[in-house]
Amino acid sequence: MRQWADTFPWAALVAAVEQHGAQHFPTPTARGRAPVATRVLLALEFLKHELHCSDEQICSQLRTDLAVMYACGIREVQVNRSQEHFVLPELLTQFRRRLDETVLRELLAIQAAAAMAEGAVSPAHLVVDTFPSEQGSQRVNDAATLYKAKKKSSRSSRRLRTRVRPRGRP
């Protein structure tokens, strides 16, 4: 997970989310708990999808899994269990609601540019799938459609061959 976390341009991603938040949402209040770092929330959101977890599961892993803490940018944990890095699943849901289409496109562009700059991908081969789907869903895509079309075509041709068999003369 450490290698996974180190591939993201975190500073640029966090700056984009914070800039979007500053433009669209009121200034945070000093009342209540201290705010959770944007890097932590963004990393949890990415990890949730990467590991196919629920909000509750990924928040629980943040409290117990050092690899998840590392991915979230938490490098030191106090022994006194102050739980400064503790995140409630409801907070993750609120964070996700604030990420509209504009900021998601910007995050995607930042990640793509960073990957191209590192030479991890070339622009000719970069394919981005932004269509959301539930885990285990039967989402239609080009590969699935092509496969089904070929399968249907081969079945049709087999049926046609069996119907057109020459009959012997009586």
Within a domain: 170: no
pLDDT-based confidence at residue 28 (cuts at 50, 70, 90): low
Within a domain: 159: no
| One-letter amino acid for residue 109 of the chain | A
Question: How far apart, in Å, do the first and last CA atoms of the chain sit?
Answer: 74
- Which residue range(s) make up the domain with 7? 2-122
Within a domain: 80: yes
User: Are 87 and 41 a contacting pair, CB within 8 Å?
Assistant: yes
- Decide which of 143 and 22 is more confident: 22
Within a domain: 106: yes
pLDDT tens per residue across span 39-61 = 999 999 999 988 899 999 999 89
Within a domain: 157: no
CA distances from 2 to 70, 113, 144 (A): 7, 21, 33
Within a domain: 162: no
CA distances from 149 to 100, 139, 144, 155, 156 (A): 36, 16, 9, 10, 10
Within a domain: 28: yes
For the chain, percent of residues with pLDDT exceeding 90: 14
pTM surpassing 0.85? Answer: no
Q: How many domains does the chain have?
A: 1
